[in-house]
Each structure stands twice: as C-alpha cells, then as structure tokens.
C-alpha cells in the first residue's frame, strides 16, 4: 500500500467518449502530479499541483483537463482522445514541490487507458 | 537538452549480482533517485543520492559520481522477485525531475 490510490485501474474508451480518472493520496502531501507512461519511454510529466493550485502544464493537449478540488484529490478529465493517448497514467504525490524529502514521489498504481 | 541514459534491458541469473548504470546530463543537480517498477504496478522508491559515494541498503546499493554524471544501482543475491524495471531520475536545479526510460531486468533461474 503506497498511500496513493487510483481508479479505475483499467479503462477502454472510444474517441468520442468522456471519462475521468481519479487519484487520492492519504499521505498529507502538498504536491500532486499526473504522469503519462508509454512503453520504453521516460515518464512524461503532464500536470503539477501544489496546495491545489496548478503550477505546471507541460504543453498537454486540451483534451486532457485536470482538476484538483483539494490537496488530497486529483482528477484527469478525458474527452475526444486519440489512439496515441493509450498509455499508463500515473498519479503521484510528494511532501513538497522540491520532492526531495521522504522518498521523493509516491506513485499510485496507475490507470491503463486504451483508446479505440 | 537534458538527458538520462540507461540500458533498455538486462538479464541476470538468480543468486548473482547485477549493476544497472545511469548517466545523466542535466541543468544542475539536486539529487538522483532510483525507483523499482514491477509490471502493472506503481514505481516505488529505492534510493536517493545527493553526495558522491556508495549507499547500501540491504541487497541494494546505489553509487553516485557527480563529476562524471554517473550512477549505478547494484543488486546482490538476485531473487526472481527482482524482475522489474528500474528507473533512474535526476532532480535538476529547478527541482524538475528528469526521468530515464528505465531498465527492464530479467532474472533467470
């Protein structure tokens, strides 16, 4: 148990669907992240929230829309996705933005997304 | 640009020792992480090095040379459960975490 949970674990959606990914951290951390992990590629940082304020958006297409209602919850809203968006989406949290204390980033198990 | 290099895949035998190398070129340096990721699971923290030298933690050790931009993860007495991907990541001067693509380690009996 890593203290970061994600739902759903698997998601298959068509290109015209709208769905949301949910992340919750029980660690009392202040920073939360969305990452995209594709096979044989480095983790790609998508969004960063610090104290529920978005601090970074790494040129992510608008079909991905994050939401952070409080320091413990993070959502990723998906609409009109493309097949190349199929990947593992990982949520992570860290104690602070520097991410050095206490083991760096704590990751959830991820959502395996398939876009058909 | 910023870059982390590590081998794509390595194979080792149960009970043996394996060393996974990581070289980096980044804008500044605030530390290097190693994470372990089993297939279909979350990456989990293994080690953090910010000073030169070797840090030992049970069967796993991590080494850092900042002057050479080089680190390695050493796994001793390999077990089948060590089959996983090992991710190297560096925190740069802006506290951005730069990731390598990971090394898939296959353990054979």
Q: Which residue of B has its CA nearest to A104?
A: B45
pLDDT bin (cut points 50, 70, 90) of residue B2 is confident
- Given this model, what pLDDT does residue A102 score? 62
Contacts of B88 in chain A (CB under 8 A): none
Confidence of residue A103 (pLDDT cuts 50, 70, 90): low
Q: What average pLDDT does chain B have?
A: 95
Q: How many residues belong to chain B?
A: 109
To test the contact with chain B by mutation, choose from A102, A103, A111 the residue with the greatest count of B C-beta atoms within 10 A, namely A103
Are B66 and B29 spatial neighbours (Cβ–Cβ below 8 Å)?
Answer: yes
Torsion angle defined by CA atoms of residues B37, B4, A36 and A92, in that order, rounded to the nearest 10 degrees: 60
Given 3-state DSSP classes, what are the helix, strand and coil percentages for chain A, each rounded to the nearest 5? 5, 55, 40
Q: In the predicted model, what is the mean pLDDT of residues A36-60?
A: 87
Question: Which of B42, B87, B97 is the closest to A2 by Cβ?
Answer: B42
Whether residue A1 is predicted with pLDDT greater than 60 in this model: the reply is: no
Cβ contacts of residue B81 below 8 Å, gap of 6+?
A: none
A34 contacts A76 by C-beta, under 8 angstroms: yes
Question: B36, B84 in Cβ contact below 8 A?
Answer: yes
Instruction: Kindly indicate the confidence band of residue B96, based on its pLDDT and cuts at 50, 70 and 90.
Output: confident
pLDDT, one tens digit per residue, over B42-93 is 999 999 999 999 999 999 999 999 999 999 999 999 999 999 999 999 999 9
């Amino acid at each position: 148990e890593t203290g970061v949970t994600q739902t759903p674990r698997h998601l298959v959606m068509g290109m015209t669907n709208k769905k949301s990914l949910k992340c919750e951290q029980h660690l009392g951390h202040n920073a939360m992240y969305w990452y995209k992990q594709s096979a044989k590629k480095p983790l790609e940082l998508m969004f960063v929230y610090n104290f529920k304020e978005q601090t970074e958006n790494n040129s992510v297409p608008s079909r991905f829309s994050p939401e952070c209602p409080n320091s413990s919850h993070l959502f990723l809203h998906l609409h009109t996705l493309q097949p190349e968006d199929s990947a593992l989406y990982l949520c992570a949290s860290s104690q602070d933005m520097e991410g050095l204390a206490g083991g760096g980033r704590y990751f959830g198990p991820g959502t395996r997304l398939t876009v058909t | 640009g910023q870059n982390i290099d590590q081998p794509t895949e390595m194979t080792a035998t149960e009970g043996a020792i394996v060393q996974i190398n990581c070289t980096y070129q980044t804008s500044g340096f605030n530390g290097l992480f190693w994470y372990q990721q089993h297939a279909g699971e979350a990456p989990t923290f293994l080690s953090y090095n910010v000073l030169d030298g070797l840090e030992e933690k049970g069967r796993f050790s991590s080494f850092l040379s900042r002057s050479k931009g080089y680190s390695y993860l050493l796994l001793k007495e390999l077990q089948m459960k060590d089959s996983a991907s090992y991710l190297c990541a560096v925190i740069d001067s802006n506290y951005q975490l730069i990731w390598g693509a990971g090394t898939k380690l296959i353990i054979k009996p």
